[in-house]
């Protein structure tokens, strides 16, 4: 899919005109629409599906927010914007400090705004370690805040704010509220419409060409076009090009429209991209949380990650190991099956001795014994002197029989979504390779690269959170943009 741009002079008929045209009606698009409309702009949302929601509506419904939100205050979890900044500025691969700072400084206000739109959040917390909660409790730790070295850099604090809806896909509840708000404010939409090209005039984006059923329509944007489309995990060609490691037994998370179409549109007018090779992978071996007391080793019998890492971080490290191989090692005291069967972690076997386990896993002779000797000594002393796993998860693994689950990349099923996208400023401007904003073009949501940039630093809620936050900023910026005559 190679996009051509259309020159405005070549447009015969403008089929419709708005101040602000928004491509994509997921959470970034909906938030952009609300803010642009409220700032007085005439808004038109172009959406490929027959209605709004996008991948956001299918998501787990976490917003990564902090700095002292109403929920954090209610649950007694002390946080402040500086503390949140210290965490995100170091856990993000190549942070733009303006983007991170703006997000942290605006986080409390953004939470209040979401609630004001009708997105429901309880004043409760969920304190267990899990992949994704299915209850209505709100605040939970969804990242690496307590993982070393982050806990030494910023005071750990839970920041995952889950929408109050029981069951999976609580993101749908958020979208229901936001789309309802859009409808009540008469946001115009053009559904079943795919943007196929940007229309430019002397270097400025002034509109978009869309295909709606069998018609081609040219839509004029007097102020700005906002790309608010999805990631590209469902575009095999783009995955093969940008993130070729995600082949084989891997499975993209999200809806089929996550095909990178908006990213390609941005590239067609000279946009730079960022972190296109990076994904958030997961093949979580927890819940249950007790499995974090096990150790994870590679095909050399060596540990390589703090096992209490967020599941995306652990999966990212597994993928870097020789042959992508890794096993979760347990003893009888903590043995349990990983709850989430979709990842296909298989029990290799049980063994009476570490020597037998080592042989059964075909590890180099003595390697696993050496690893366990050191780990058990450290665990008994209450400090993991190699990866600094948090003390709550430390216990000597010395109660036979032992067991191992194969959690290798390719052997287990790794789910993922892509994290790369258009390079943007903290004002949601789309930037070219020189760092210059492309006139008339803004972007937010999964098509843009803001705070989550790689699987090692990802936290649940870093998709909906920045998407909604910078979606709002895009809407505000677009409404303020100089009108094109």
Report the interface residues with a copy of itself, using CB under 8 A: 82, 85-86, 90, 94, 97-98, 101, 149, 152-153, 298-300, 302-304, 320-323, 385-388, 431, 433-436
Please, which residue, 140 or 321, has the CB nearer to a copy of itself?
321
Q: Which is nearer to a copy of itself, 236 or 366 (CB)?
A: 366
Shortest spacing between CB 408 and a copy of itself, in angstroms: 13
Give the nearer residue to a copy of itself in terms of CB position, either 152 or 214: 152
Of residues 102, 120, 148, 135, the one with CA closest to residue 63: 120
Whole-angstrom Cα Rg for the chain: 24
Using the minimum distance from each CB to a copy of itself, give the nearer residue, 362 or 483.
362
With a CB cutoff of 8 Å and minimum separation 6, the contacts of 76 are none
Of 62, 192, 110, the C-alpha closest to 471 is: 110
CB of 276 to a copy of itself, least distance (A): 15
**∠ CA 350-352-354, rounded to 5°:** 90
**Least CB distance from residue 300 to a copy of itself, whole Å?**
5
Q: What angle do CA 4, 7, 11 make, to 5 degrees?
A: 110
Question: Which residues, in sequence order, are bridge partners of residue 431?
Answer: 437
The nearer residue to a copy of itself, 3 or 298, going by C-beta atoms, is 298
Distance set, CA 378 to CA 304, 394, 402 (Å): 16, 8, 19
Cβ at position 450, least distance to a copy of itself in Å: 16
Cβ closer to a copy of itself: 77 or 384?
Answer: 384
Q: Minimum distance from CB of 169 to a copy of itself (Å)?
A: 36
Classify 196 as helix, strand or coil. strand
Contacts by 116-121, CB closer than 8 A, 24 or more apart: 117/34, 117/177, 117/178, 117/181, 118/177, 118/178, 118/180, 118/181, 119/163, 119/173, 119/174, 119/177, 119/178, 120/163, 120/164, 120/165, 120/173, 120/177, 121/70, 121/71, 121/161, 121/162, 121/163, 121/164
267: nearest Cα among 444, 419, 417, 448:
448
3-state SS class at 412:
strand
Place of tokens 């259309």: 6
CB of 194 to a copy of itself, least distance (A): 32
* Least distance between a copy of itself and beta carbon 419 (Å): 18
Cα 479 from Cα 40, distance rounded (Å) = 7
- Residue number, 192 or 432, with CB nearest to a copy of itself: 432
Residue 309 tokens, joined: 């890492």
Within 10 angstroms of residue 348's Cβ, the number of other Cβ atoms is 15
450, 278 in Cβ contact below 8 A?
no
Task: Return the number of the residue (216 or 380) whose C-beta is nearest a copy of itself.
Answer: 380
Nearer to a copy of itself, 25 or 150 (CB): 150
How near is the Cβ of 404 to a copy of itself at its closest, in Å?
18
**Nearest CB to a copy of itself, comparing residues 204 and 300:** 300
How far apart are CB 143 and a copy of itself at their closest, in Å? 16
The residue written with tokens 């936050």 in the block is: 469
Nearest approach in angstroms of CB 384 to a copy of itself is 11
> Which residue number, 249 or 436, has a Cβ lying nearer to a copy of itself?
436
CA dist 160 and 115 (Å) reads 15
Q: In the bound complex, what is the minimum distance in angstroms from residue 151's beta carbon to a copy of itself?
A: 10
């Amino acid at each position: 899919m190679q996009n051509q741009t259309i020159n405005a002079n070549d447009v015969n008929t403008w089929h419709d005109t708005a101040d602000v045209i928004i491509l994509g009606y997921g959470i970034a698009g909906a938030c952009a629409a609300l803010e642009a409309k409220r700032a007085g702009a005439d808004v038109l949302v172009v959406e490929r599906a027959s209605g709004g929601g996008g991948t956001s509506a299918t998501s787990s419904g976490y917003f990564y927010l902090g700095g002292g939100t109403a929920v954090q205050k209610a649950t007694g979890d002390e946080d402040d914007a500086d503390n949140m900044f210290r965490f995100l500025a170091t856990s993000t691969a190549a942070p733009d400090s303006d983007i991170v700072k703006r997000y942290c400084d605006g986080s409390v206000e953004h939470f209040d705004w979401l609630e004001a739109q009708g997105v429901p959040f309880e004043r409760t917390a969920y304190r267990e370690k899990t992949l994704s909660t299915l209850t209505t409790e709100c605040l939970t730790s969804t990242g690496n805040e307590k993982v070393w070295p982050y806990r030494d850099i910023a005071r750990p604090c839970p920041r995952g704010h889950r929408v109050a809806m029981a069951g999976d896909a609580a993101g749908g509840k958020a979208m229901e509220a936001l789309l309802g708000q859009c409808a009540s404010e008469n946001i115009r939409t053009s559904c079943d419409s795919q943007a196929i090209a940007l229309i430019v005039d002397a270097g400025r984006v002034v509109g978009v060409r869309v295909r709606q059923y069998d018609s081609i329509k040219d839509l004029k944007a007097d102020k700005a076009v906002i790309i608010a489309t999805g990631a590209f995990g469902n575009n095999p060609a783009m995955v093969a090009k940008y993130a070729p490691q995600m082949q084989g037994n891997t499975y993209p998370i999200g809806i089929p429209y996550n095909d990178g179409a908006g990213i390609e549109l941005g590239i067609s007018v000279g946009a730079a991209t960022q972190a296109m090779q990076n994904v958030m992978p997961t093949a979580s071996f927890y819940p249950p949380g007790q499995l974090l007391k096990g150790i994870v080793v590679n095909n050399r019998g060596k540990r390589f990650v703090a096992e209490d890492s967020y599941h995306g971080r652990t999966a990212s490290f597994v993928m870097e190991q020789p042959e992508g191989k890794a096993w979760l090692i347990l003893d009888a005291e903590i043995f349990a099956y990983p709850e989430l069967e979709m990842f296909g972690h298989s029990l290799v076997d049980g063994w009476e001795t570490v020597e037998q386990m080592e042989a059964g896993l075909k590890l180099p002779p003595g390697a696993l014994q050496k690893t366990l000797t050191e780990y058990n000594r450290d665990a008994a002393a209450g400090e993991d002197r190699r990866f600094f796993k948090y003390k709550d998860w430390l216990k000597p693994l010395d109660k036979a029989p032992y067991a191992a689950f194969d959690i290798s990349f390719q052997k287990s099923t790794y789910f993922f979504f892509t994290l790369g996208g258009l390079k943007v400023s903290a004002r949601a401007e789309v930037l070219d390779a020189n760092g210059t904003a492309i006139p008339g073009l803004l972007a937010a949501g999964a098509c843009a690269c803001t705070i989550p940039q790689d699987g090692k630093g990802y936290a649940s809620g870093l998709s909906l959170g920045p998407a909604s936050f910078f979606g709002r900023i895009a809407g505000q910026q677009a409404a303020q943009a100089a009108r094109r005559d």
